[in-house]
Amino acid sequence: MRHRAWGGGAAALVVAALALWWLWPEDAAAPDAPPRAPAERVEAPPPVSLPPRMAPAPVRAEGLRLRVVLRGDVPFEGEARVGVTSISDADRHMWEVSKREGRSGAGPEKLEDLANVSEWRPVEVTPSVTGGTLGPVPVPVAPLYRVVAWAPDGTFWLGDVVPESEDFTGVVEAVLSARAPTGVRVRLMGGRPEHGPFSLRVVRGVAQDVRDAERASELLPVVRHVAPDLASALSDEAVLPLPVGEPLELLPLPPDSAVLLQLQSTAGRVSKRVEVPLREGRVEPVVLDVDELFPEGVGQTVTLRGKVELEGTFIPPEGARLLGPGDVEVPLATDGRFVVSGLPSWEPSHFRVEVASPLSRRPVAATEQSFQFMPKPGVRDAEVTWRVPAYRWLVLRMDGAMRAQMEARTQKPYPVYVLQRWGEGARWELASAGAFIPEEDGMAVSILEPGRYRVLVSFSVHEVYASTAADVGEGNADGIVTFQVDVEGSDCEVLVTAGRKPVFGARVTASSDVSSLPPAWGLTDAEGRWRLGRVRPFGLHLEVEAEGYAPWTGEVSEACGRGGEVRVQL
C-alpha cells in the first residue's frame, strides 16, 4: 500500500508542472535582448576539394646482402673488393636471340658470362681462425658479383657469386678458398755502383691456345688490385725499378706458360729477353746477370750541343722546328743553338728539322730534313752543326697564250710537270722536287743540288713535251727553261679485234715511260676502237683486257708514229 501512495503523488506533481508551463507568459521566458543589426550578405567560399586518399607507404624491405666465407689456413689480413656487374641491353638481346634461334658453338653458354664489372666496392672482412667472412654487406641487384680479396704474402681469393634468384631481399652466400700466387722472385747479379740503378720490363708469355690465354687473363683483375704497378708493366710496358741488394717479387702474375723479363740500364739500354717458365701457384726464382745480359756494356748517356743553320747563312730557316727521338721538340735559340741530354751512346739518335712553307712566296728549304747523330766510343759530350740545304730554282717560262692553250687542251689531273736531271749515265733521269710554285710568268721548280735540269710538261699520258735544259749552279741565280707545243706527233687510235671481228667494251689502259704520270683508260666502241689522241714520241704502253680473252700488253709509240693506229688482236 505504501508504494501505491508514492506513485499517486508523483503523478500529481507532473500534472501541476505542465499546468504552470502552460500559464506562464511569453515575455517572462527570457530577458530583453538588444535589437539585431541587419545581416550582411557574404559570398560563400568556393568548395575546397579534399586531397585524394594516399595509399599507405609500403614498408621498405631490408634489401639484398652478400656474405662470402674466405677459407684459409690463417686468420685473414688484407683487403677485399666486390665488383658489381651489369649486362648491356645489346648483349642481352643478342644472347636471347641466339638461344631462341638455337645457335650453338659460339658465344657464352650462360647469360651471366656477359656481365662486366661496372663498379668496385671496398668491403670489410672479419677474420676468423680459418680465414674470414666478408659481410654481410648490402649490394644492389646484379646478375653476378665478382669477389677479390688478397693478403700481404700474395695469397688471394677470387670468384664469381651468382644469385640463385632475382629476389630483391635476402642474403646471397658463397664460399671461396685461398689460392697461392703465381710469380717470380728476381735477383740481380753483377751490378756495380758505376752502373747506376736498373729497371725491369715484364712481358706476358701468352699461350697459343686461346682457351689457356683467356683462363690466365681471368686473373688480371686480381693483379690490378693487388699490384697496380705490375699490372701497368704488363699492359702499358711501364718499367719497374729493381732494388739493389734485395730480390724483387713479381706476384701475382697471370698463370701463363712463361713470363719474359728484360733488364734496362740507367742509360736506357735494354738487354735481350729472358724467358722464365711459370707453374701455377709457385714463385719461381730467377737471377739476372748484368755481364751476361750486357756483353758490350750497359751503355752511357751523351749530351749533344749543336747548331742548325740554313745553307749559306749562320741562322736557322725561318720558322724551323727541331724534333728529336720520339718526335720530342728540342728548343731552338734564335741563332739555331740547342742542347739535348740523355742520348744513348750505343745507337744512333734521329732528328729532323721541319720548315713551314710560306703561303705567298717561295720556300727557302724543304719542309723536312733528317739528321742522324752517332756518338764516338767513350764520348760523353759532343758538338755538331747541321746545315739545312737551301733551295735553288729552275723556272719554266710560260706566257699567257701558252697557259690558255694548256687549259683548253688538258683535263684534270693534267697538266703534270716532271723534273729531270742529266745523270752520270749520259741520260735524263727522274729527279725529286720538293715544290712546284705557280708564278705570274711560269712555274718555279725547287732543286736541292747543282746540275743540268729540264722539265717535262704533260698534257696527257701520251702527249708529253720536254723543255730546254739549264745548268743550275751553287749560286742563287734561277735557271730559266722554256718549251713549245710543236707539230711533231700525230693522232692515234686503238683497234681491238678477235677473229677479225671488233671487240666492244674492251678496257684499254695507256701508261707512259715517265712513271710519275697518271695512266689513262677507256672502253672500245662498237667498232672496237678507242681514240688515244695526239701521241708524242715518248714511250707509250698499252694493256687491253676483255671478258673471255687473255690480256694483251705492248709498247705502241712506234706504231702510232707510223700509221696513227694500233691494232690489237686478242
Q: Rounded mean pLDDT of 218-229?
A: 89
469: number of Cβ within 10 Å:
16
73: number of Cβ within 10 Å:
9
- Proportion of the chain above pLDDT 70, given as a percent: 87
User: Predicted confidence band at 222 (pLDDT cuts at 50, 70, 90)?
Assistant: confident
Number of domains comprising the chain: 5
Cell numbers at 182, concatenated: 703465381
Q: What is the pLDDT of residue 207?
A: 76
**Does pLDDT of 533 surpass 50?**
yes
Residues 382 and 426 in one domain: no
> Please, what's the largest Cα pairwise distance for the chain?
173
Q: Tell me the per-residue pLDDT of 59-95, one tens digit each, with 9 for 90 and over.
A: 334 579 999 999 999 999 999 999 999 888 887 778 7
Q: Rounded mean pLDDT of 105-113?
A: 65
> DSSP readout, 249-281?
EE-S----SEEEEEEE-TT--B---EEEE--TT
Q: Is residue 443 part of a domain?
A: yes
Strand 479-481 with 392-397, pairing? parallel
Q: What is the pLDDT of residue 61?
A: 41
Q: What is the pLDDT of residue 374?
A: 95
Residues 522 and 451 in one domain: no
Domain boundary among 152, 177, 202: 177
SS3 193: helix
N- to C-terminal Cα separation, the chain: 159
- What are phi and psi for residue 258, nearest 5 degrees? -160, 165
As a whole number of angstroms, the distance between CA 173 and CA 11 comes to 89
**Does pLDDT of 457 surpass 70?**
yes
Q: How far is CA 109 from CA 99, 113, 147, 208, in A?
A: 9, 7, 21, 23
Higher pLDDT, 507 or 485: 507
**Does pLDDT of 463 surpass 90?**
no
- Give 422's strand partners: 428
Q: What is the pLDDT of residue 306?
A: 96
Residues 170 and 197 in one domain: no
Q: If you average pLDDT over every residue of the chain, what do you get?
A: 84
Q: Is residue 200 part of a domain?
A: yes
425 and 436 in contact (C-beta within 8 Å)?
no
As a whole number of angstroms, the distance between CA 110 and CA 95 comes to 9
Higher pLDDT, 474 or 256: 256
Residues 343 and 365 in one domain: yes
Q: Is residue 511 part of a domain?
A: yes
Q: Rounded mean pLDDT of 339-352?
A: 95
**Does pLDDT of 2 surpass 50?**
no
- What are phi and psi for residue 230, nearest 5 degrees? -65, -40
- What are phi and psi for residue 496, nearest 5 degrees? -110, 125
Nearest to 281 by CA among 147, 175, 177: 177
SS3 343: strand
Domain boundary among 293, 320, 351: 293
Q: Is residue 28 part of a domain?
A: no
Q: Tell me the per-residue pLDDT of 20-53, one tens digit each, with 9 for 90 and over.
A: 444 444 444 444 444 444 444 444 445 544 445 4
Q: Is residue 353 part of a domain?
A: yes
User: Predicted confidence band at 106 (pLDDT cuts at 50, 70, 90)?
Assistant: low
Q: What is the pLDDT of residue 59?
A: 34
As a whole number of angstroms, the distance between CA 220 and CA 261 comes to 18
Q: What is the CATH number of the domain that holds 414?
A: 2.60.40
Judged by average pLDDT, the poorest of 39-53, 366-380, 512-526 is 39-53
User: Predicted confidence band at 460 (pLDDT cuts at 50, 70, 90)?
Assistant: confident
376 and 452 in contact (C-beta within 8 Å)?
no
Q: What is the pLDDT of residue 103?
A: 60
Residues 478 and 421 in one domain: yes
**Does pLDDT of 351 surpass 60?**
yes
Residues 246 and 263 in one domain: yes
556 and 541 in contact (C-beta within 8 Å)?
yes
Q: What is the CATH number of the domain that holds 533?
A: 2.60.40.1120
Judged by average pLDDT, the poorest of 246-250, 288-292, 400-404 is 400-404
Residues 473 and 497 in one domain: no
> DSSP readout, 352-392?
EEE-PPPSSS--SB-SEEEEEE-PPTT-SEEEEEEEEPBPE
User: Predicted confidence band at 7 (pLDDT cuts at 50, 70, 90)?
Assistant: very low
**Does pLDDT of 107 surpass 50?**
yes
Judged by average pLDDT, the poorest of 251-265, 331-345, 477-491 is 477-491
Nearest to 202 by CA among 187, 214, 184: 184
Residues 355 and 443 in one domain: no
35: number of Cβ within 10 Å:
5
Q: Rounded mean pLDDT of 203-211?
A: 84
Q: What is the pLDDT of residue 237?
A: 86
Q: Is residue 56 part of a domain?
A: no
Q: What is the pLDDT of residue 535?
A: 81
Residues 286 and 315 in one domain: no
User: Predicted confidence band at 3 (pLDDT cuts at 50, 70, 90)?
Assistant: very low
As a whole number of angstroms, the distance between CA 207 and CA 210 comes to 7
Q: Is residue 10 part of a domain?
A: no
Q: What is the pLDDT of residue 76?
A: 95
Cβ partners under 8 Å of residue 267, min gap 6: 196, 298, 299, 300, 301, 344, 345
Domain boundary among 177, 210, 228: 177
87: number of Cβ within 10 Å:
18
Judged by average pLDDT, the poorest of 178-192, 218-232, 535-549 is 535-549
Q: Is residue 508 part of a domain?
A: yes
Note the pTM of the prediction, 2 decimals.
Answer: 0.61
As a whole number of angstroms, the distance between CA 198 and CA 266 comes to 6
Residues 197 and 283 in one domain: yes
**Does pLDDT of 261 surpass 80?**
yes
As a whole number of angstroms, the distance between CA 88 and CA 143 comes to 11
**Does pLDDT of 305 surpass 90?**
yes
309 and 386 in contact (C-beta within 8 Å)?
yes
Torsion sign, CA atoms 166, 169, 170, 174 = positive
Cell numbers at 529, concatenated: 676502237
Q: What is the pLDDT of residue 24?
A: 44
Q: What is the pLDDT of residue 104?
A: 56
Residues 240 and 329 in one domain: no
Q: Which residue range is the domain that position 353 belongs to?
A: 301-388
Nearest to 413 by CA among 538, 485, 536, 518: 518
User: Predicted confidence band at 350 (pLDDT cuts at 50, 70, 90)?
Assistant: very high
Displacement of CA 454 from its chain's centroid (Å): 46
